[in-house]
Structure 1
Amino acid sequence: MKLRKVKSPSPCLITQAMDIIGKKWVLLIMYQLLSGPKRFTELEAEMAISGRLLSERLKEMETEGIVTRHMYPEIPPRVEYELTPKGRAIEPVINQIYSWSSDWLKEQQQIK
């Protein structure tokens, strides 16, 4: 299959998208949230990411409209993060990346 370069009216769209999702951990956070809302500690434990960096990424993603933060008035306070429709829209892309990497990792392991 031959790929052709798609011309767009704004050649910076890919760059703009990569500025958002290309940061370390962002796609993995999104992948984790595809299964539904999660608490901060759940994300931290599942990904072995530092709390400081996870907090920073979640704030950036919230600013971009990718994630919403729900705070529940309980004691102790409960905070959950969830993908917005904008964040959830990347699910087919994440699935394709997973499929691509799965195929190539299998092939790479067979070569070794």
Structure 2
Amino acid sequence: MAHEHPEYDPADRVAEDAELAEFFDLLGRPHTTAILRRFACDSGPWRYSELQETLDISPTTLSNRLAALTEAGIIERESYDEIPPRVEYSTTAKGEALRPPFEELLVWIDSYD
């Protein structure tokens, strides 16, 4: 038996599936979930050096992941005109919206561990 969806638009579904696949692709990159966990579970903002110290990630990989998360609108980068230069990363509203599902996933993982 097929389910009827009166407002179902296949073109919308294809676009949503593509966005979801893009998001999971980002999550599937090495160290992305560890970085997201810092932002989702711990208060920020975070300096690059603090992230580097707490995560076992090469500087190049960390920079690439932060750039990808910034481009995705999940975190934002703020640079300050100081000596030495200071850069901080914090979650955007989009990133904050990931906190509840991220915490639920952690609960789910713990319940089946």
Total equivalences in the alignment: 99
The list of structure 1 runs, each at least 4 consecutive aligned residues, that deviate by more than 4 angstroms after superposition, is none
Q: Deviations over 1:64-110 (max 9, x none)?
A: 111110111111011001111111111111101111121222xxxxx
Name the SS of the counterpart of 2:112 in structure 1: helix
Q: Percent identical across equivalent pairs?
A: 33
TM-score (norm 2): 0.77
Structure 1: 5+ residue stretches without partners: 1-6, 106-112
Please, which runs of 5 or more residues in structure 2 have no aligned partner? 1-7
Question: Once superposed, what is the RMSD of the aligned Cα atoms?
Answer: 1.8
Q: 2:65 aligns with which of 57, 60, 80?
A: 57
Offset of 1:45 from its aligned partner? 1.4
For the residue of structure 1 that corresponds to 2:61, the secondary structure is: helix
SS of the aligned residue for 1:79 comes to: strand
| AA at the equivalent of 1:92 | P
Give the match for residue 88 of structure 1.
96
Query: Which of 24, 33, 36 lines up with 1:18 in the alignment?
Result: 24
1:3 maps to what in 2? none
The answer to whether the 8 A contact 1:68-1:83 is kept is yes
Counterparts of 2:81 and 2:20, CA distance in 1: 40
